[in-house]
Structure 1
Amino acid sequence: MSRRTILYGTAIAAGSVVLAACSGGGGGTPGSGGANRDSGTDAPAGVKGSAKEPPPVPSGFKESPLLKAQAASGAIPTLAERLPERPLVVPHTWVQEGKYGGKVRMLCETTSGDRAASIGEFFCGHKIIRFVNDGLDIIPGLAESWEMNADASEWTFHFREGLKWSDGKPWTTKDIMFWWEDIVLDEAHTEVPPDETRSGRNTLAKFEAVDEVTLKMRFDAPAPLTAQRIAMWVNGPMQNGPWWMVPAHYAEQFHPRYNKSAPKNWAAAGGVFETKVDFTRNPDCPTMTGWRCKSHDARSVVFERNPFYYVVTKEGSQLPFVDELVFTAVLDAEVGKLQMQQGNVDYVQGQFLKVGLSDISVFRRAEERSGLALLLWDGGSGTSSMWFLNYDHKDPELRKLFREPKFRQALSFAFNREEAQKSIYFEQGELTSGTLSPKAKEYLVNDQGKQAYQEWRDAWVKYDPETAKRLLNEVGVVDKDGDGIRELPSGKKLKLSIDRSANADPEHIQKDNLLMRDWKAVGVDATVNPIPPEGFNELWDNGQLMVHSNWEVGDGPNHLLYPQWLVPIEQSRWAPLEGRMYSLRGTPAENQELDVDPFKRTPPRMEAEKGGPIEQLWNKYDQTKLEPDEMKRTQLVWDMIKIHVEHGPFFSGTVANTPRVILKKKDLRNVPTKQNLQLGGFANPWIHPTPAVYDVETYYWDNPDQHP
């Protein structure tokens, strides 16, 4: 999230009033039975959530007049020929029957590179199975049903008969096998096996295409999280999780195994293959999503309706309702906000365009001119802007200090979170020491889960400078020369470097300024160190940076889907070298260079301390990967949380579950309000793809002729 600099006093008061007015989601009172006309949602207020099973397939189907005309001319097959035998029916209770036509104009930061991944967050069509109810439930997607054997070591997915790519060619399990055998298992390519393809013993599953609509995954040990992990992310080669499928009939022409004239170094030829099979950039590439790419350049991407999309409403209308989606790149966030205020934008998903809580009053004042209604969905973050020390820092004295729980606790107690909540977050959210998302299942299942969350949330949340000073004294970090700044036990001056990406959002900049002030008040000197984004990761991974400050923890819907914050299993978080060691388990590198300095290994990696907290976390996590009983897995997660409480904090937060800003034209319908969503929304995590999980294809214009 990103906010502009916020002034105190009247600005904060005005923002708080506006947030209070918006917090209900934009209209209606639960149980009132009224329609949320101001927000553009026709469902009665209080209609919440999605069916856990899709509604029955309707007896008849309808289509866009444009497609009907094309079918009549013979340009495309009839609707009956384009749809699978049993289409997926959207299960959301707030969705009303819509109207066909019009286009939706949106902004994006760029149309290529990492930051363009936000465009993919609008498409769920490549999902085998899908999250609903803010991650609490899973429904079918391309697969109509699935099952596992008794110990969860074999999974079978049954796909819909008659699925077709956007070019009309049949979709089959060959498209998954091409991805698996010709891309993932081809060592020349950088695509790696995702977690959901590994067993609890960290070995790869064996894939078998039983027939064109049946896929089996066989593991050498229980793999109970397979379905949940397949349900997360959006899929495709646009940096939003694993690909999972590629249109083999199209992609084979760029692969040397099938086309002898293709470059032999196909996987390293300037990203040509990735570009060719990226349906968000290449108009020629077929897709299974609701819209297909019509045009792409550095300035914009235009998507047009996919005639073969396999999803319908309960009334039988083939989706999507809107003819086109238009994404226009804006390099300057403030320029983009000006376009929104002028009414040149139809829909805004706040986190992708640096639209935050500090912008609310501006958009409220411009509402009449812009025509944009403002919604607030829950973000679901467990931290908002956070920080964490490098547990594996290269300097031995700093590494020893950073591994001392009392030192990290002192830094947490020294931070005035209430002031940060007021000045950065307009008094929204709840103060937190830092946890995974408060929406995670482990916290909602029973009272023990609620207690586990509260204990972790409140462990070091209090603003208590005197306790901070005492803890610093206890670990030997004292002011020896009387200048007000503490020294390390060795006598050297302690000076923390708050390392953040040079393009950090204002939210993080404001928080870091407060951190520096509060830490200095207890004698800990700190300065900000902006680092070019392209070089940041390598420095952090190698233990050369001290304090990472410009991230948040938003992950859920449960702790084990994306457990990297709970347990170090890769190199980008709080224990980078030990996380890297875990990630290399089962590979030849695991037992190589053990007599070499960990920081001189290739890549740098480090064993966990025997009996230490990381080894304890690894052991518990390894048990979860083999445990088929969900409640027993939950208990293991609670055990890991206890390790965090006993030895933490390993990462520190500010406030949890702050709102996410959504802007939409008032006559754009079927956009849910917070009231309509099962948990009020879950907008922050990429593994819970938002807004794709709410089926953007159902959005429609009340007056499509006015949005050509």
Structure 2
Amino acid sequence: MHMPKISRRNLLYGSALFAGAAALGGCSSGGDTPNGNGSNGPRSEAQGSASEPLVAPGTYQQAPALEGQDLPPVQERLPEHPYVIPHRWVTPGKYGGKLNMNVFSTTGAAGAVSDFEFFYGNSPLRYLNDGKDVGPGLVESWESNDDASEWTFHFRKGLKWSDGEPWTTADVMFWWEEFVLEQKMAVTPPDEARSGKGTLATFTAVDETTLKISFDAPAPLTPDRIAMWVNGPRVGPFWAMPSHYLKQFHPKFNKSVGEDWDAVGGLMATRSDWHRNPECPTMTGYRCKSFDNSRGVVLERNPYYWCVMPNGDQLPYLDEIQISVVTDDQVGKLQIQQGSVDYCHGPFNRVTLNDVQGLKDSTAKAGTEIILWDSGSGTGSIFFFNYDYIDDDLRELIRNPKFRQAVSYAFDREAVRQSVYFNTGEPTTGTLSPKAIEYLVNDTGKQAYTGWRDSYVAYDPEQAKQILDELGVVDSDGDGIRELPGGKKLKLRIDSQADSSPEHSTKDNQLVSDLKAIGLDMAINPIPPQSFDDQWKTGKLMSRSNWEASDGPNLLVHPTWMVPIEPTRWAPLQGQWYQQIGTKTAGTELELNPWERHPPRMEPEREGPIQRIWDLYNASKVEPDEMKRHELVWEMIKIHISDGPFFMGCVANFPQITVIKNDLRNVPRRENLTLGGFVNTWIHPTPAVYDPECYFWENPDQHA
């Protein structure tokens, strides 16, 4: 896919009202600080990545630490044609050293996900150039039939798991047949494996390195969608599981483990998670060396990793990565300022723009540099009601678009832009990522974006009050607080995870204050993070606020904010209905109350906005013409404007922070990236897309 270079208002790095804003101007901008190309001179100005695969060098070098181990020669551990790192800013590095990181988590290392965003090794295909291009991964080449209803993927010959066992398409079929189709271990079909008609694709292993995926309708976006996520446990679909290892824990292949999937499934979930289980093979550049849920994880080099540098260096360069868990975000930030953290990727360390001044002041002592990449966010900190809330009266009000529009008009986004985002980015009602191709392809796309962004963005309390009056949401008893039509008390809640970051809590407090000013009573209700998702999916929570929407680079590859197709966004029960289409569960328990079904699910109203969005989305999935797909997206956006907002943002495309040690090399700066970076969406996994396996120390002996 081809995307024009983005053109939008520049981020105001040096012009905010607060002291921290001045520090933004000096972050990752020119100068003679140590660079990403392994020297101390001016940093590399090379931009982007090759969109076509680079030729394998033919001769290879390995890490000295692997010498003397009982391993085959490096050329025998690599596939016939290894993946060659295509980024123009990288240079050959030095082997050795450890990278120290920390990650915030209230539930221990098992609940931390930052390290999963680092490794693209399990993925069949990969995003390049901030999502503009799709390149090979485990798959070396691919093609489709004329109507894109059948796709054939040719995996690299000679791939090996981290234990040296061969990787084959049998590992894909093990995941698909034993877990997806059987719906075991809470594994559900990824939407990229379902056609526009709602039916699941057919997977066929043609041979050990060839996989055929057949749909009953055209599926032109299949490669783009397979490039999403890092893939593996907990983040994205598995796509392949090490069947040679996991069969010993599966009842079908080992009768001695028993047939109780409540027990077996828990064991399998742990055994199949390479991050928690040192015995589990992986295809990533690092494998688990040790795991402690209260302390963290230590990762060591995978000697069979299938990626190399253009000069033939087998990756990774670093010997180990140690990721420590912190349960207090202030402790984690102090560790960064003291220099005990070598690499901090902002979204997962609770580091925000509020922390820039403190981080800037400590760079000399800590030996660090602050890098600002574009977040790509379409919302900033988000707020949305539960469209499928269990209470009948409140659900009726929530589903009335006029009520949500009144809430949007009451929200002073400019105050949040100043207090949280230091006047960076742009105010927005809330869209998907402004970097998406559908917005940039032509003037119609640009108008679709600005129309959605500006639809209810104005701060207009008087208009908000007028709308509420027209809805009959008035102060009927004279206490200054509005009631539901008919006089019933109206008490709104922000159901927020108890460990929400200051970015979200500051915005929440602003929203509560703004709604009080128009007579709406809203309270912040902290929910333990361990139970939050289950309560949300069952319709028991009224609203959600600790998230943001940033999906792209193509709005159709993962449209979950635009189209309710799963249960974690704004219409959880209807999303769950869509997710069960084509499965064994779809036609069961229909006589029960939607909230009592297993899983809870609800069919949308036939002429309602969700069904209309579904119809357009299903049409887009089978439309081979790219421009017609864009037009279908624009039609969905019109529904989001007329019947929305279904979710409410505040600021789009603010900068995201990464902090690195001065002598860490091959880390790109904003000017090296095609679109300035695209951090905040998980489907474009950052920094995995920039291949951290090629990061190296200029002085590895100082980081032993």
User: What TM-score, normalized by structure 2, do the two folds share?
Assistant: 0.93
Return closer, same or farther for 1:321/1:575 CA change in 2, 3 Å cut-off: same
CA contact (8 A) 2:51 2:133 kept: yes
Partner of 1:260: 255
Show CA shifts across 1:570-612 (max 9, x none). Answer: 2322223322332333346545555554445454433322322
Partner of 2:77: 82
Counterparts of 1:452-531 in structure 2, within 5 Å, are: 452-531=448-527
CA contact (8 A) 2:148 2:219 kept: yes
State the one-letter code of the partner of 1:65.
P
State the alpha-carbon separation in 1 of the partners of residues 523 and 632 from structure 2. Answer: 39
Shift in Å at residue 348 of structure 1? 0.7
Partner of 2:11: none
State the one-letter code of the partner of 2:61.
K
State the one-letter code of the partner of 1:17.
A
CA contact (8 A) 1:26 1:38 kept: no
Shift in Å at residue 673 of structure 1? 0.8
Matched, 1:18 2:23: yes
CA contact (8 A) 1:390 1:545 kept: yes
Shift in Å at residue 188 of structure 1? 4.2
Return closer, same or farther for 1:545/1:618 CA change in 2, 3 Å cut-off: same
State the alpha-carbon separation in 1 of the partners of residues 471 and 351 from structure 2. Answer: 42
Secondary structure at the counterpart of residue 495 of structure 2:
strand
Shift in Å at residue 654 of structure 1? 0.7
Return closer, same or farther for 1:697/1:456 CA change in 2, 3 Å cut-off: same
> Where in structure 1 are there 5+ consecutive unaligned residues?
1-9, 29-34
State the one-letter code of the partner of 1:565.
W
Matched, 1:37 2:34: yes
CA contact (8 A) 1:27 1:45 kept: no
Partner of 1:106: 101
CA contact (8 A) 2:36 2:43 kept: no
Partner of 1:424: 420
State the alpha-carbon separation in 1 of the partners of residues 627 and 262 from structure 2. Answer: 43
Partner of 2:189: 193
State the alpha-carbon separation in 1 of the partners of residues 29 and 581 from structure 2. Answer: 49
Of 248, 257, 270 in structure 1, the residue corresponding to residue 243 of structure 2 is: 248
Shift in Å at residue 40 of structure 1? 7.4
State the one-letter code of the partner of 2:514.
D
Counterparts of 1:105-504 in structure 2, within 5 Å, are: 105-109=100-104, 115-237=111-233, 239-265=234-260, 268-269=263-264, 271-298=266-293, 299-504=295-500
Shift in Å at residue 537 of structure 1? 3.1
Return closer, same or farther for 1:596/1:176 CA change in 2, 3 Å cut-off: closer
State the alpha-carbon separation in 1 of the partners of residues 617 and 179 from structure 2. Answer: 29
Secondary structure at the counterpart of residue 112 of structure 2:
helix
State the alpha-carbon separation in 2 of the partners of residues 679 and 533 from structure 1. Answer: 34
Partner of 1:53: 52
State the one-letter code of the partner of 1:136.
K
Matched, 1:634 2:593: no
Shift in Å at residue 469 of structure 1? 1.6
State the one-letter code of the partner of 1:627.
E
Partner of 1:92: 87
Matched, 1:660 2:656: yes
Counterparts of 1:532-611 in structure 2, within 5 Å, are: 532-587=528-583, 590-592=586-588, 594=590, 596-611=592-607
Aligned length: 686
Return closer, same or farther for 1:579/1:282 CA change in 2, 3 Å cut-off: closer
State the one-letter code of the partner of 1:507.
E
State the one-letter code of the partner of 2:62.
E
CA contact (8 A) 1:132 1:138 kept: yes
Secondary structure at the counterpart of residue 555 of structure 2:
coil
Return closer, same or farther for 1:478/1:694 CA change in 2, 3 Å cut-off: same
Shift in Å at residue 267 of structure 1? 6.3
CA contact (8 A) 2:375 2:655 kept: yes
State the alpha-carbon separation in 2 of the partners of residues 302 and 114 from structure 1. Answer: 13
Show CA shifts across 1:113-164 (max 9, x none). Answer: 6632222111111111111111121110111100111111111111112212
State the alpha-carbon separation in 1 of the partners of residues 243 and 596 from structure 2. Answer: 42
Return closer, same or farther for 1:161/1:270 CA change in 2, 3 Å cut-off: closer
Shift in Å at residue 21 of structure 1? 2.5
Question: RMSD across aligned C-alpha pairs, in angstroms?
Answer: 2.2
Of 27, 30, 38 in structure 1, the residue corresponding to residue 30 of structure 2 is: 27
Return closer, same or farther for 1:382/1:392 CA change in 2, 3 Å cut-off: same
State the alpha-carbon separation in 2 of the partners of residues 540 and 626 from structure 1. Answer: 31
State the alpha-carbon separation in 2 of the partners of residues 206 and 108 from structure 1. Answer: 39
Secondary structure at the counterpart of residue 261 of structure 1:
helix
Secondary structure at the counterpart of residue 158 of structure 1:
strand
State the one-letter code of the partner of 2:194.
R
CA contact (8 A) 1:45 1:675 kept: no
Shift in Å at residue 663 of structure 1? 0.7
**Which deviates more, 150-159 or 291-300?**
291-300
State the alpha-carbon separation in 2 of the partners of residues 390 and 201 from structure 1. Answer: 27
State the alpha-carbon separation in 2 of the partners of residues 601 and 180 from structure 1. Answer: 25
Return closer, same or farther for 1:188/1:596 CA change in 2, 3 Å cut-off: closer
Shift in Å at residue 422 of structure 1? 0.5
State the one-letter code of the partner of 2:19.
A
State the one-letter code of the partner of 2:254.
N
The percent identity for this pair of structures is 57
Partner of 2:9: none
CA contact (8 A) 1:109 1:115 kept: no
State the alpha-carbon separation in 1 of the partners of residues 244 and 539 from structure 2. Answer: 45
State the alpha-carbon separation in 1 of the partners of residues 62 and 36 from structure 2. Answer: 26
CA contact (8 A) 2:52 2:135 kept: yes
Shift in Å at residue 707 of structure 1? 0.9
Return closer, same or farther for 1:129/1:437 CA change in 2, 3 Å cut-off: same
Secondary structure at the counterpart of residue 359 of structure 1:
helix
Of 652, 673, 680 in structure 2, the residue corresponding to residue 677 of structure 1 is: 673
CA contact (8 A) 1:40 1:668 kept: no
Show CA shifts across 1:630-687 (max 9, x none). Answer: 2211110110001111111111111011211101100000011111111111111111
Partner of 1:7: none
Partner of 2:62: 63
CA contact (8 A) 1:27 1:37 kept: no
Secondary structure at the counterpart of residue 131 of structure 1:
strand
Return closer, same or farther for 1:398/1:132 CA change in 2, 3 Å cut-off: same
State the alpha-carbon separation in 1 of the partners of residues 129 and 572 from structure 2. Answer: 34
State the alpha-carbon separation in 1 of the partners of residues 587 and 485 from structure 2. Answer: 35
State the alpha-carbon separation in 2 of the partners of residues 209 and 142 from structure 1. Answer: 15
Return closer, same or farther for 1:493/1:624 CA change in 2, 3 Å cut-off: same
Return closer, same or farther for 1:600/1:211 CA change in 2, 3 Å cut-off: closer
State the alpha-carbon separation in 2 of the partners of residues 612 and 439 from structure 1. Answer: 29
State the alpha-carbon separation in 2 of the partners of residues 596 and 327 from structure 1. Answer: 46
State the one-letter code of the partner of 1:99.
K
Show CA shifts across 1:478-519 (max 9, x none). Answer: 233443322222122322122212222221111111111111
State the one-letter code of the partner of 2:34.
R
Return closer, same or farther for 1:61/1:284 CA change in 2, 3 Å cut-off: same
State the alpha-carbon separation in 2 of the partners of residues 707 and 519 from structure 1. Answer: 52
Shift in Å at residue 185 of structure 1? 2.8
Of 612, 637, 640 in structure 2, the residue corresponding to residue 644 of structure 1 is: 640
User: What TM-score, normalized by structure 1, do the two folds share?
Assistant: 0.92
State the alpha-carbon separation in 2 of the partners of residues 158 and 594 from structure 1. Answer: 42
State the one-letter code of the partner of 1:184.
V
CA contact (8 A) 1:190 1:267 kept: no
> Where in structure 2 are there 5+ consecutive unaligned residues?
1-14
Return closer, same or farther for 1:623/1:705 CA change in 2, 3 Å cut-off: same
